[in-house]
Structure 1
């Protein structure tokens, strides 16, 4: 999925559900961390936090007690509408939601103590610029082998055919070149079970796992076959592979 297609997809999803998958019935086993818990644990009460690609803001709003001020940015109008609606209904006062591109952060130098990004692209040089000295950057990204059995079934998918670990290594190189040190990387490959056909359909419709899923009638035949081969007592089995990087400026 090229960048333009992904941006259009992301915008559409933002308008529909703000990247909120809370209603999807699924179970997971083997997850090694909760990303926003890791972010909150590295914040002080006096810190200012930037969250890049905040989406509908649901995750950011769950850690508002961790820092003095939390700023979420996203390039998608649809996502921002969802995030601002969530912020308004929460009545939380120490969060700001702004439209901004990660490649050009419109903030002063050394403005933030902590910067986070979950499943969103970042510009390492811009992150370094807006972080204070000794500030911390955390990112969680989707690994190439995520949902690998689904991608194999369709013969296509997000990062399909790319060696697992490529994106992680690219991020590490870029962060090092931007001046970060003490760069730590962690991998996690958890097992997931989706309770029903409808839950898996929602996932595929609202993520880029299988680009343009459902636009071909054959997609549903492939999915039916996949479910038949991977349905267990716990649900329809797949995997969730992620990596996390924590770096200090």
Structure 2
């Protein structure tokens, strides 16, 4: 997908589902951390916390006690509408969801003590600008080797044929260039077992793992063949490759 196609896709998913995959039945083996647990561990009750690319706000609403005020931003109006509805349903009084581009964060310099960002783009200069001195920035991203057996089956996919580690190294270099210190990176490659065909279809239709999945009948033929080859007693086997960067200003 090009940038415009991805934005349109992301906005459509936001209106339909938010970034909520709780209905997908999947067991993972080998995940080294839970990202928002790590965010909580690096936050204080008195902090102002910004979540960039918050999606439907589902993850941010799971850590409402981590900080004094939690603000989620997203460039998709569809996602933010879902996020605001989720906040209203939760009755959380210290969470705000705002339609905002990560390249133009509309807050003063040094406003936040903690900034989190999961599976979304960010602008290192803007992150550095709105993060207070001594503040912590945490990002988790999808590695290029994610869902590799699926990408090989389809012959296309998100970051297909890009060397693993490319994005992580780029982000670490950019963060260093804008003045971050104590930059640490972590990686894991977990095994995922999707319980049913429907779980895998939901994932592929609501993420850009296989761009434009389902627009041709051939995609479903390939998927059925993939399931036959990767079905195990635990479920349909694939992988989740993730990396995390923690940087202090």
State TM-score, norm by structure 1.
0.99
Structure 1: distance between partners of 2:181 and 2:5: 34
The residue matched to 1:116 in structure 2 has which SS?
strand
The residue matched to 1:62 in structure 2 has which SS?
helix
Q: Deviations over 1:183-218 (max 9, x none)?
A: 000001000000011100000000000000000111
Q: 2:147 is matched with which residue?
A: 147
Q: 2:181 is matched with which residue?
A: 181
Q: Deviations over 1:134-174 (max 9, x none)?
A: 10000000000000000000000000010000000000010
Name stretches of at least 5 consecutive residues in structure 2 with no aligned partner: none
Give the ranges of 4+ consecutive aligned residues of structure 1 lying more than 6 Å apart after TM superposition. none
Structure 1: distance between partners of 2:101 and 2:182: 27
Q: 1:88 is matched with which residue?
A: 88
Q: 2:116 is matched with which residue?
A: 116
The 5 A counterparts of 1:93-104 are 93-104=93-104
Bigger Cα displacement from structure 2, 1-10 vs 148-157: 1-10
Q: How far off its partner does 1:128 sit?
A: 0.3
Q: How far off its partner does 1:22 sit?
A: 0.5
Structure 2: distance between partners of 1:219 and 1:99: 34
Q: 2:39 is matched with which residue?
A: 39
Q: 1:220 is matched with which residue?
A: 220
Name stretches of at least 5 consecutive residues in structure 1 with no aligned partner: none
Structure 1: distance between partners of 2:71 and 2:195: 35
Q: 2:19 is matched with which residue?
A: 19
The residue matched to 1:210 in structure 2 has which SS?
coil
Question: Pairwise CA RMSD of aligned residues?
Answer: 0.5
Q: 1:160 is matched with which residue?
A: 160
Structure 1: distance between partners of 2:75 and 2:54: 9
Q: 1:60 is matched with which residue?
A: 60
Structure 1: distance between partners of 2:134 and 2:85: 34
The residue matched to 2:134 in structure 1 has which SS?
strand
Structure 2: distance between partners of 1:103 and 1:53: 11
Q: 2:246 is matched with which residue?
A: 246
Structure 2: distance between partners of 1:16 and 1:236: 25
Structure 2: distance between partners of 1:224 and 1:9: 24
Structure 1: distance between partners of 2:102 and 2:114: 15
The residue matched to 1:228 in structure 2 has which SS?
helix
The residue matched to 1:73 in structure 2 has which SS?
strand
